[in-house]
């Protein structure tokens, strides 16, 4: 009789469980903070150095100039504030100095190209090395109103060199084709000779560009690097 009563109680407990349903084990719920309620891993962004040049320019400064290409492989998250460390070396391969910069927001699945310049403190370096971007948990944000690099259309409209100055002023415009406002825009000019990158420069526009509007930019670049409009590339990205 005692065994029969125990079996009956177990059966009733099982029946109640079936009626009420059983929730998932704590900690196993999918992360549905991204679109579609589908769990997505947070993938690290990657970066490639397309070109590097360094020289003592006409303004008397030792400058290292880079062109980078960075990719966000995530489809559900934008990535921001990712750190890239740079190492400058002399001709013998010894470390001359180090620095770093922070990647700003890259939309999900987007690839951005941009120039970076650094005023060297210990002479003209012979080579440069870099690390892949490092992130923190706050670097990943669910996809929202992200402007993509393809949404920004930049063109060079003119250039001029003032007598007595060592700079060429490169001017142009950026139009925002996105349906969102671009709050900060990085405009890079990439100068080439016979198809090969010989120098680069950039300017950061901090005035927001509303959807469908355009903004002007001016970049003062050392004039010891010849400016050829036919071999100059201009790129604008959200930053």
pLDDT at 142 exceeding the cut of 60: yes
Looking at residue 82, its pLDDT comes to 97
Segment 48-75 shows an average pLDDT of: 93
Q: What distance in Å separates the CA atoms of residue 70 and residue 47, rounded to the nearest whole number?
A: 4
Looking at residue 40, its pLDDT comes to 78
Overall size of the chain counted in residues: 239
Q: What distance in Å separates the CA atoms of residue 183 and residue 80, rounded to the nearest whole number?
A: 14
Q: Which of 110, 38, 123 is nearest to 71 (CA)?
A: 110
- 55 burial level (CB within 10 Å; 0-12, 13-18, 19+): middle
Q: What residues are paired with 205 via a beta bridge?
A: 185
Looking at residue 32, its pLDDT comes to 40
- Residue 63 pLDDT class (50, 70, 90 cuts): very high
Range in 6-10, 75-79, 186-190, 196-200 the model is least confident about: 6-10
Looking at residue 226, its pLDDT comes to 73
Show the CA angle centred on residue 149, arms to residues 106 and 43, nearest 5°: 30
Q: Is 192 helix (H, G, I), strand (E, B) or coil?
A: strand
219 close to 169: Cβ distance less than 8 angstroms: yes
- Residue 120 pLDDT class (50, 70, 90 cuts): very high
Rounded to two decimals, what is the model's pTM?
A: 0.80
Q: With pLDDT > 90 as the criterion, what percentage of the chain qualifies?
A: 67
Q: What residues are paired with 170 via a beta bridge?
A: 159, 219
> pLDDT tens-digit profile of 23-43?
433 333 344 444 444 467 999
Q: What distance in Å separates the CA atoms of residue 151 and residue 238, rounded to the nearest whole number?
A: 9
At residue 38, what are phi and psi to the nearest 5 degrees?
-100, 130
pLDDT at 208 exceeding the cut of 80: yes
Residue 20: enclosing H or E segment and its boundaries? helix 2-20
The region, left, alpha or beta by phi > 0 then psi within -120 to 50, assigned to residue 229 is alpha
* Higher-scoring residue by pLDDT: 22, 238: 238
């Amino acid at each position: 009789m005692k065994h029969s009563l125990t079996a009956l109680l177990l059966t009733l407990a099982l029946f109640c469980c079936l009626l009420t349903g059983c929730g998932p084990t704590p900690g196993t719920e999918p992360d549905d903070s991204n679109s579609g309620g589908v769990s997505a891993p947070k993938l690290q962004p990657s970066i490639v150095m397309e070109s590097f040049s360094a020289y003592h320019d006409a303004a008397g400064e030792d400058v290292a100039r880079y062109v980078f290409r960075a990719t966000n492989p995530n489809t559900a998250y934008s990535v921001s504030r990712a750190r890239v460390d740079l190492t400058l070396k002399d001709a013998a391969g010894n470390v001359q100095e180090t620095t770093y910069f922070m990647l700003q927001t890259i939309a999900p699945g987007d690839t951005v190209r941009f120039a970076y310049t650094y005023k060297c403190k210990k002479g003209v370096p012979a080579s440069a090395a870099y690390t892949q971007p490092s992130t923190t948990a706050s670097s990943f944000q669910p996809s929202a109103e992200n402007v993509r690099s393809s949404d920004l259309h930049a063109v060079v409209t003119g250039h001029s060199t003032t007598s007595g100055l060592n700079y060429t002023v490169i001017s142009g415009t950026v139009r925002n084709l996105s349906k969102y406002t671009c709050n900060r825009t990085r405009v890079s000019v990439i100068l080439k000779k016979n198809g090969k990158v010989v120098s680069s420069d950039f300017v950061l526009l901090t005035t927001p560009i509303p959807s469908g509007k355009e903004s002007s930019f001016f970049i003062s670049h050392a004039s010891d690097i010849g400016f050829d409009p036919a071999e100059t590339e201009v790129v604008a990205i959200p930053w």
